[in-house]
Amino acid sequence: MSLKVALLGVGTVGSSVARILCDRQPQGIALTHIFNRNVERKRANWVPASVQWTSDVEAILRSDANVVVELVGGLDPTGVWVRRALEAGKSVVTGNKKLIAQDGVELEKLARKHKAHLLYGAAVAGGIPIIPGLRHGLAGDEITRIQGILNGTCNYILSRMEDGAQAADALHDAQKLGYAEANPSEDVDGFDARAKLVILSRSALHVDLAQSEIACKSITGVAAIDFEYARELHCTIRQISRVALRDGQCYAAVGPVLVPKSSPLAWSRGTENMVLVGGKYGGDVVFSGHGAGGHPTAVAVVSDLISLAQGGSAQVEGAISAPAKSIPVSGEFVQRHSIRLIVHDRPGIIAEIAGALAEQQINIHAIFQRPGYQQEHLPFVVTVEPCTHSALRKALDHFTGKGWLAEPPLDLPILEAEV
């Protein structure tokens, strides 16, 4: 195909896309239009004079461009723009994880109806070719599970804390470096990773999960003491997104998890993303690399354009051959847990904890207590044998309001070799 490309948005990623297209000039691809609000401040002298700049999105939708690259982000008004482009028969390449997670199935149907294509390799893990890898490289396998670090901001914060930084300092540095927004909730509370997990589940497991049904747990409860006890358990702590199909049931969750040092996921540091894909026949495959930033994400966008120019409609056809089906999702992984408690020490606390766990048929595996802490604010950890989250939650609720409890307990699942 000969592609005339209209670029919506020239922020960090959009400007990198424009730069790659102008510098590399991939065969069969021509940048013809650029849209941005207040577009005059975005003009660059390295963009060819033939490119039309505009702050009127209607000029893009009416143009002769046959591919729209959407890099504005968000749901509104970008969702309207993408739908109108597809209805006009224009293919769309996007990195908009929110839009694809919420409306991807509908938009793929719309693209097929109007003989257009929808590609979104940049929507998950930035420059890592995880979506093309799932739809092409692993198409011959039956994917049963995904575990991954899908949010570079959280990975930066937690790996800094692993090195001894305080949580507040790590977050402040992430904001100063542009990794985290002024309001970091989307990242630290797991919503960004959850949207990406929905997209991966659709691409790899062919299930369409409702975001609202996937349990998210914030990393804000993790403190420096938790890394000390993690080392006792030969683990570190990472925000892990995971989904698994087992016995006709789908399990999914996002949150901080104790990751054994032997796991590849423990090796990911800084803003790096890593995804471990488990197949029935091929076993585990690991995707790793820069998950954010203008240039890595732009590479994924341009790769989608090149695939389209080379007739790569198979990226959409991969979804057509195995359409995503809606399926209920549960967060009830059966797994070991580590429970960190901070107490006003007195006799009988361990007995009370053991009794509450026993009522839920949960066995204690081990108890860890590091020396050197005051009895009035004493941290220790109880690890338990595999159980469901709901059973453990009932046991922990027993402690609510107890006079000996100085802070709410922190429950960290322990990642096993199999989810």
Residues forming the active site: 196
Q: What does 181-231 look like in DSSP terms, one character per residue?
A: -SSTHHHHTSHHHHHHHHHHIIIII-EE--GGGSEE--STT--HHHHHHHH
Rounded to the nearest 10 degrees, the angle between the axes of helix 12-24 and helix 294-309 is: 50
Residue 31: alpha-carbon gap to chain centroid: 30
| Contacts for 30 with CB less than 8 Å, ≥ 6 apart | 2, 3, 4, 5
Distance CA 215, CA 180 (A): 22
Distance CA 107, CA 410 (A): 40
**Residue among 27, 37, 59, 409 nearest 14 (CA):** 37
Give the three-class secondary structure for 413: strand
Distance CA 20, CA 296 (A): 11
Give the three-class secondary structure for 158: helix
- Find out whether 7 and 298 touch, Cβ atoms under 8 Å: no
Please report, in angstroms and rounded to a whole number, the separation of the first and last CA atoms in the chain. 43
Distance CA 103, CA 115 (A): 18
